Amino acid sequence: MKNCKLCKKNTADKTGSHIVPHFLMKRIINEVGTRERDKELGFKITPETTGSFFGKAVLPEKLEEIYGEVTDELIEKNDIEDIVDNYFCTSCEKRFSVIENKYAKTLEKSTKIDQNYISEKRPLLGFLFWSSIVWRLSVQNNSGFKLKIKEENKLRRILDKYLAIKTQDLQPKLSDPDLANIGYKIIRSPYFSDKYSTWLHWSPEFQRPYSFIIDEYLVFFYFKKTHLNGMVQNFYDSEKFKKNAIFNTPFCEETVYGIAHDNYNVICKRLAHFAASKRNEYLRFSLDIVHQKLSGNREQMPSRYKEEIMRRIANSEEKLGRKGTTEEFIKITKDTITELSINT
């Protein structure tokens, strides 16, 4: 068994570790109206395909509604990627949980809209919480997110030095060079996820700062303060809010900029549109590759075939859990090419 990814000393004996804390993930991926463990029912959307997953406590009737027939193969392939085994030791997992339990209480504190408000008065606590998520996403296999090696190592050092079993022991050192040039901004649409679906999302295109959508939060993580004045990266039309948000450092209380549900909904819709355009782009490219392999030339697939395939994909009446999958794409492509070829 390998050593813990955080302390590098103890055996990584902990199983069932959440990369993003459960109190946030349950608001993103749980079955609508539930916040319980093992009630996950979510989707992973990439440019190439759509995957899905479910917790062991989701009722069979709900699974049938989402998937139709619930087969042994479906159950065997089910995998909740946010949960990992043998990444951390029991001791480090406990250190993560202390920070998470304390930070979870900020969700119920008084908030404000269109202005900054203090969400956590203790210096370092909020910084460690968000740093731990960014770092864990980076070290997770196949998460799709990766910090630069120097950045990942810096966060590991910070977390290992400062995560503590007792919150009164959270004391940042002014002389620590690792803390000198780092910080983050937070935007929140309070209680948005009580009414609407939310996302866990990041994009490789946004690194200065690294930008995330996590439930009802927008998180902007900076490894250099100079990036505060760098080139504008308009993360799904959130730039105007990011400008208003206060830059948090490890040495100050955490401040969050609150925005209305209507504004956050616009951001979510822009993300959905971006995801759809990336999928459309990938599918069209894939159809050209299919055509080139079948025909032996380098031409694009004739528009008659391509547009009909795209139309059928868009209008698919497959069950939600089987929609947008690689299997559906292959079936629709085969059926369409066969039908149109026969009728030619």
The tens-digit pLDDT sequence of the chain (344 residues) is 899 999 999 999 999 999 999 999 989 988 777 778 788 888 999 999 999 999 889 999 999 999 999 998 998 889 887 889 999 999 999 999 999 999 999 998 899 999 999 999 999 999 999 999 999 999 998 888 999 999 999 999 999 999 998 878 788 999 999 999 999 999 999 999 988 989 999 987 888 899 999 999 999 999 999 999 877 888 999 999 999 999 999 999 999 999 999 999 999 999 999 999 999 999 999 999 999 998 888 889 999 999 999 999 999 999 999 999 999 999 999 999 999 988 76
Question: Which pLDDT value is given to residue 171?
Answer: 87
Please state, in angstroms and rounded to a whole number, the distance separating the CA atoms of residues 250 and 221.
Answer: 12
Domain ranges of the chain: 91-259, 267-342
**Four-CA torsion 156, 158, 163, 168, nearest 10 degrees:** 180
Q: Which two tokens stand for residue 76?
A: 């065997």
Q: What pLDDT is attached to residue 143?
A: 85
pLDDT of amino acid 128: 98
Question: For residue 81, what pLDDT is reported?
Answer: 76
Number of residues assigned to the chain: 344
Per-residue pLDDT, 344: 62
